[in-house]
Structure 1
Amino acid sequence: MITNNTPARAGGAGRLAGRPVSRIGFGAMQLERLRTDRDAAIALLRRAAELGVDHVDTAQFYGDGFVNGVIRDAFRPEDGVVVVSKVGADPNPAGPPPLRPAQRPEQLRASVEDNLEALGLDQIPVVNLRRLDTRPGLRAEGDQIVDLDDQLAVMTAMRDEGKIGAIGLSGVTLDGLRRALPAGIVCVQNSYSLVARGDEEMLRLCAAEQIAWVPFFPLGGAFPGMPKVSDNPVVAAVAESLGHTPAQVGLAWLLHHEPNVLLIPGTADPAHLDANVAAGTIELDETTMAALNAVESAPTTSRSAERPGTIGG
């Protein structure tokens, strides 16, 4: 609940699983870079809360539990932070690669239990099922190719048991989302940015169904062959005219594009965190939006955008 002593929500107020949240959250994956300076990682999350960020995206496979442990110790009950985790892969510290698929129902359940223990929670507010049948990122093979209905059955059972509050999807196809709608999906995380808008039809479906759209790789460029928002000349020109960075303009465009968009930009740097949150204050008029909307979109994913052992979002 926002009180007089609570900062305004970063980027304004959005909705996630029926709860009001800041439209700009925090993607915690990069906190692993601060493994040797745990105090700095905690301080970064405390700074995010001070800036009005009240939802955080994580996973047990981020740093093999390190990131979840930092989240547990950084946030206080009065911060009102909604924790969103994901399952579908497990840490593989003896790798490379550092991750391995964990798509089978019993693995999904074990991953939820691991998240609960590491986060120190009785219930995870939202858990995203990370499918591995879309690029970019880790791919499922052999017995890791599991039917979506079988996965949703165990996710729904854990929701009924109270272990998770709501179910989201990540790395999902349009047909997969349509199949999953009866399960009560509250958010979708797919790779999406101003310069890679291949999932526009899925975004419109989410808007119609009041499902939060939470893009990962919101600035592109995370894999070889993926375009970067900051490299686009139209974005650069808009940024220069407004006195902001191209990255900030790319984030601002996402917020203006559809009201159900929530952002989870990640960083391990306090100055970068401040810049990401500041993107929520940028106003884009109709002329500027028209220019940005006209930017050519590349395919969302491609075979050239593969990096073994990496999972987006």
Structure 2
Amino acid sequence: MATTTSLTYKIGGELEINRMGYGGMQLTGPGVWGDAPDRELAKRVLLSAVESGVNFIDTADSYGPHTNEVLIREALSSQYSDIVVATKGGLERTGPNQWPVNGRPEHIRQAIDGSLQRLGKEVIQLWQLHRVDPNVPIEETLGPVADAVKAGKILHVGLSEAGIADIERAQQVVPIVSVQNLYNLAERSWEEVVDYTAERGIAFIPWFPLASGPGKLQDKIGALAEKYQATPAQVALAWLLRRSPNILLIPGTKSLQHLQENLAAVKVELSDEDVASLTA
């Protein structure tokens, strides 16, 4: 018998959001470079997401770069009192699909102030370190972040592509309330982090949640999609919702139709047996 899945989560124990959110990365040009080719459509997608119940929007200063945050401000600033906007910093952009890491404190300080300005916000509700810089101690990288928290510029802090050791080192500098790592049915190398964060009340935000995987897995997903009269993407998202109660989903799309399909995944309640068959 299927277990009813809680569809809300409190980030940092206080920001209650719907677990089905929206990621803005696809609302950019090819290679996540440049503005959305159709800005008006991109704004409609963002508005439609919020009107459909999404109250968690994920972005980053590197998407565009910078254009995604501006787009979100233009589309959603009138909704800011009802939604949580999370952004990230710690990468540079040198061209399409190029993402050099920069964890130097001066870059992080500029990234935070730049995001505040582009989003048109006085406080960033969730700021996430986009990558841990192997050339800069994480304590140094997070120094300006802790300062921004004390100054009231940032409410909560998260990490991205971080392991347990990174989380524990970061926690010595500033409380960590979320971890955003690559995770989906086909890519499960961060299983330990999913469980670690769940045990400690830290949100886990999978990026690239809709990757399919090897043929055998695709066959299973296809069969379950037929069984539940759902799309394969909805089955993949439904599995993530069942995987752990701290998982927050941010599937992105530039299509209004795909947006609604993704959001409908919350209605797919997989049985325990079907969850187990996908997890095995």
Give the drift of 1:102: 2.2
Specify the alignment match of 1:88 in structure 2: 90
Q: How does 1:135-174 map to 2 (within 5 A)?
A: 145-174=135-164
* SS at structure 2 position matched to 1:127: strand
CA contact (8 A) 1:69 1:118 kept: yes
Residue of structure 1 in register with 2:16 after alignment: 20
- Aligned pairs (5 A) from 1:116-195: 116-132=116-132, 145-182=135-172, 183-195=174-186
SS of match in other structure, 1:198: coil
**1:16 to 1:230, Cα distance in 2 relative to 1, 3 A:** farther
Normalised to the residue count of structure 1, the TM-score between the two structures is: 0.80
Partner-residue secondary structure (3-state), 1:165: strand
In 2, Cα distance between equivalents of 1:286 and 1:61: 39
CA RMSD of aligned residues (A): 2.0
Distance in 2, matches of 1:211 and 1:181, equals 11
Q: What residue ranges of structure 1 are gaps of 5+ in the alignment?
A: 1-10, 134-139, 222-226, 295-313
Counterpart contact for 2:179–2:204, Cα < 8 Å: yes
Shift of 1:262: 0.3
Partner of 2:3: none
Q: Counterparts of 2:267 and 2:8 in 1: how far apart (Å)? A: 12
Equivalence for 1:302: none
The answer for the alignment partner of 1:69 in structure 2 is 70
- Residue 195 of structure 1 contacts residue 229 of structure 1 at CA under 8 Å; is this kept in 2? no
Q: What SS does the corresponding residue of 2:159 show, helix, strand or coil? A: strand
SS of 2:154's equivalent in the other structure is: coil
Aligned partner of 1:240 in structure 2 is 226
Deviations 1:257-284 (A, max 9, x none): 1111100001111111001100111111
Question: Which shifted more, 27-36 or 161-170?
Answer: 27-36
Rounded to whole Å, the distance in 1 between the matches of 2:194 and 2:243 is 10
The residue matched to 1:85 in structure 2 has which SS?
Answer: strand
Q: Do 1:32 and 1:62's aligned partners in 2 also have CA atoms closer than 8 Å?
A: yes
Other-structure match for 2:244: 258
- Is 1:286 paired with 2:276? no
- Inter-CA distance 228–265: structure 2 relative to 1 (3 Å threshold): farther
Question: Could you list the per-position Cα deviations for residues 221-263 of structure 1 after superposition, in whole angstroms to 9, with x for gaps in the alignment?
Answer: 6xxxxx3699622111111111111111010000011111100
Which residue of 22, 25, 31 corresponds with 2:27?
31
Structure 2 alignment gaps of length 5 or more:
1-5, 30-34
Q: Secondary structure at the match of 2:86?
A: strand
C-alpha spacing 1:46/1:213, structure 2 compared with 1 (3 Å) = same
The structure-2 alpha-carbon separation of the partners of 1:286 and 1:98, relative to structure 1 and needing over 3 Å to count, comes to: closer
SS at match of 2:155: coil
Q: Distance in 1 between matches of 2:73 and 2:57?
A: 11
Percent identity over the alignment is 36
1:306 paired residue number? none
Residue identity in the other structure for 1:274: Q
Is 13-22 or 95-104 further displaced after alignment? 95-104
Residues matched between the structures, number: 267
Give the direction of change, closer, same or farther, for the CA distance of 1:164–1:43 in structure 2 (3 Å limit). same
Q: Taking structure 2 as the reference length, what is the TM-score of the superposition?
A: 0.89
- Give the SS at the match of 1:63: coil
Aligned to 1:272: 258
Residue 96 of structure 1: how far off its partner (Å): 5.4
**Larger CA deviation: 74-83 vs 155-164:** 74-83
- Provide runs of 4+ in structure 1 moved above 6 Å: none
2:195 to 201, 204, 225: 204
